Amino acid sequence: MSEKRCLAATSGKVDQPYPHSGRDWASWLWHTHHGQPPRGQPPTPGDAEAAWTALIHLARREGFTVERGNCAGADGFAFWRNRRIRIRPDATPARAVIALAHQLGHVLLHNQIAQREFSGTVMCTGVRKVEADSVAYLTATRIGIDGTAITFPAVSSWAGTDPRARPAATIQAVTARILTATATIVTRLDAAGVTGARPGAPARTAGHVASGVSTDVHQVANLTRSRAHGTQTATAPGAARLPIAAQRDGPPASELARVHDKAAQFFRSQMPGSWAPDYLAGRGLSSAVQEHWLAGHAPAAWDALTRHLQSAGFPDTLLEAAGVARRSRRGTLIDTFRDRAMLPIRSAEGTIIAFIGRAAAHAGPDVPKYLNSPATSLYDKGETLFGLWEARDALAQGARPVIVEGPLDAIAVTTAGQGRYAGVAPCGTAFTASQVAALDGAADLRAVGITVAFDPDDAGKRAAVRAYHLLIPLTEKLAALNLPPGQDPAQILAGPGSAALAIMLADHIRPLPDLVINAEIRRWTRRRLSYAEGQIGALRAAAPLIAAMPPAHVARQVARLAAILQLDHALVTEAVSDALADLGTSPAASSRHDITAHQASLRAPATPGALAANNDSPLSAQRIFERTAGVAPTAARGKRASADRPALTGRPVRG
């Protein structure tokens, strides 16, 4: 098939002209939907607000926090290191929606590119800008916002003109990417009721599909993908992935909640005579604590709970929909949880929506230690925090939330915290933006701060760094608990006891930004750091991270980085200043803080506390040892690491 006929097939119109100018491209986007560009009309304030809210929810599903703030002259930017999208505060509702849709286009299409960039941003140029602008254009016009303010360059500027480069194939591929990303956004807007027909909305022509652009987006995206692979697709229009609650047309939520209440009562009734009470007591949970958290036991029998609920009149379909029973290989209904210590998971309103079960100590090595309920219309583990409802009163009165790895750790922290600390844990997933939003709704994070208490192994350190980037837009008061090697809060509660854990929560902490910088430096081997080139490379990699931090964190991290890399404090300050200027022009300025505040923190001398933090690094500890032992300092002996260090140039510092 010729290039031109291939394009015509993609658009569904044999006579569709090849797009040349930017105006042609805008027309091309809508011709792929079998229609004409609509006459945009300003949405009502309610429509724009609903669209804004729906797009914020989509951003959260993708792991990004949306905020309004200074964008250095741009309408917005996305910053992957801190996982945030910023939109300028003075934008009109319609302009803000367009800007957010543009950034979501980057998030959906250019995520892998951004993750490989040390700067943590995507350069909005060339075909990347065309793709993001196109997503914003289709989104805006679908809502009813005038999209003519979005202009496109000539198609040849990014697709080329040389036939050997197959520009038509490039256009086809870019079109498919744009339509797929737009489908994700429009699906969210459809679910929120934003894109429904409004009185006075422009009439659609006969060429449009009656169900609107969202159906066209799915049709064309599926058609393009199937043609690219030489296959046909039977996917129904509009069959895009929806949130779990929207996908399932099962029993009402109230019926599912009744099943979980009955199941919790059954598990509680099975505690006497089982191994669960003694096991939980051995983990530091007294009888009163077990009763408060409604701990129970799932019998080892294949269908004990199933038969109990069936006898209570619950149909099999309801038990499956609630996730408390499942089909075996033979087709019979069996319990989801067997021979486990059970803990209920509650919603923000206190409704039991799921369970988490801990395997017995005598369970085999192939048995998962923890087992969560499957996803249901009530329960999405990526949006739920174990222990949040139980800690609601303490959090409302100013308790500091402590994010831990497991449910027993959460119970341990809340028990030992005595109203000062409240433990919460993800439900078998990595910490997510949706869970951050739930926590932010229950506590004043800006005032009380957050402590992260993950295991001190490599996986726990990576989780702590991820948590930092999710939490820093909400609060500067971020700390990490220094856990003893091989121990978690539950083990400390069971061993030294509640008082020891309370003391550790109060005193054995360090700033969470320390772990972020340490993680970046660990990417550079000790051997590479013994050379000036390695030191400067590590400096350039870590400087943008420090520049993106709140001003209160900068002085300490500059002092620590200078000590770890054995570089002059002034050299590190210069690198961070250059990185800060780069962030300001990218325009990824730091969250909620202007550049002036950062520059002031860099000009200020390091505080005694910041200088004392130097002793956190292994290299500083080594120098102290050498001084006490009468050995020549490492920096003096390793001349290649200190002699003739190259000064940094004045250009923007990138990773």
- Position 655 in a domain: no
Query: For residue 221, what pLDDT is reported?
Result: 38
Domain extent, residue 322, equals 253-379
Give Cβ neighbours of residue 206 (< 8 Å, ≥ 6 apart): none
* Domain match, 449 and 502 both: yes
Query: For residue 115, what pLDDT is reported?
Result: 63
- Which CATH number fits the domain that encloses residue 340? 3.90.980.10
Amino acid at 298: A
- Position 654 in a domain: no
Q: Which residues pair with 453 in a beta bridge?
A: 404
Query: For residue 228, what pLDDT is reported?
Result: 37
Average pLDDT over residues 421-428: 95
Question: Burial of 235 by CB count in 10 Å (0-12 exposed, 13-18 middle, 19+ buried)?
Answer: middle
- Which CATH number fits the domain that encloses residue 430? 3.40.1360.10
The Cα–Cα gap between 582 and 602 comes to 15
* Domain match, 364 and 218 both: no
> What is the layout of strands, in order, in the sheet containing 76-79?
65-68, 84-87, 76-79
pLDDT at 420 over 70: yes
Query: For residue 353, what pLDDT is reported?
Result: 96
Q: Backbone phi, then psi, for 631, in 5-degree steps?
A: -95, 145
Average pLDDT over residues 294-303: 97
Of the candidates 217, 242, 267, which is a domain's last residue?
A: 242
Q: With cut-offs at 50, 70 and 90, classify the pLDDT of residue 587.
A: very low
* Domain match, 199 and 230 both: yes
Of the candidates 493, 515, 537, which is a domain's last residue?
A: 515
Query: Could you write out the DSSP letters of every residue in 590-634?
Result: PTT--HHHHHHHHHSPPPHHHHHGGGGSHHHHHHHHHHHHTPPPH
% of the chain exceeding 90 in pLDDT: 41
- Position 69 in a domain: yes
Of the candidates 348, 379, 410, which is a domain's last residue?
A: 379
Give Cβ neighbours of residue 566 (< 8 Å, ≥ 6 apart): 535, 619, 634, 635, 641, 642
* Domain match, 435 and 509 both: yes
- Position 470 in a domain: yes
Q: Which has the closest alpha carbon to 598: 616, 576, 614?
A: 576
Give per-residue pLDDT as tens, 20-69. Answer: 888 888 888 876 744 434 434 455 556 788 888 889 988 888 888 899 98
The Cα–Cα gap between 360 and 369 comes to 8
* Domain match, 542 and 494 both: no
- Position 653 in a domain: no
Between 525 and 392, name the one with better pLDDT.
392
Sign of CA dihedral 396, 493, 404, 548: positive
- Position 247 in a domain: no
- Position 408 in a domain: yes
The Cα–Cα gap between 410 and 389 comes to 12
* Domain match, 330 and 424 both: no
Between 228 and 548, name the one with better pLDDT.
548
Give per-residue pLDDT as tens, 201-230. Answer: 333 322 332 233 333 334 333 433 333 343
* Mean pLDDT taken over the chain: 78
* DSSP reduced 3-state for 423: strand
- Cβ atoms of residues 170 and 159 within 8 Å: yes
Query: For residue 613, what pLDDT is reported?
Result: 42
Q: With cut-offs at 50, 70 and 90, classify the pLDDT of residue 558.
A: very high
- Cβ atoms of residues 559 and 610 within 8 Å: yes
What is the CA 128 to chain-centroid distance, rounded?
22
% of the chain exceeding 70 in pLDDT: 74
Query: For residue 171, what pLDDT is reported?
Result: 86
Angle, helices 595-603/569-585, rounded to nearest 10 degrees: 180
* Domain match, 177 and 83 both: yes
Query: For residue 44, what pLDDT is reported?
Result: 58
* Domain match, 365 and 390 both: no
* Domain match, 579 and 486 both: no
Q: How many CA atoms lie within 13 A of 100 on its CB side?
A: 29
Query: For residue 81, what pLDDT is reported?
Result: 78
Give per-residue pLDDT as tens, 155-175. Answer: 888 888 877 777 887 888 888
Reported residue count of the chain is: 655
* Domain match, 99 and 225 both: yes
Give per-residue pLDDT as tens, 461-516. Answer: 889 998 998 898 889 999 999 998 889 999 999 999 999 999 999 999 999 999 99
- Position 466 in a domain: yes
Q: With cut-offs at 50, 70 and 90, classify the pLDDT of residue 120.
A: low
pLDDT at 618 over 60: no
* Domain match, 352 and 413 both: no
* Domain match, 405 and 371 both: no
- Cβ atoms of residues 403 and 411 within 8 Å: no
Angle, helices 167-191/93-109, rounded to nearest 10 degrees: 120
* Domains held by the chain: number: 4
Is the backbone peptide bond immediately before 587 cis, with ω within 30 degrees of 0? yes
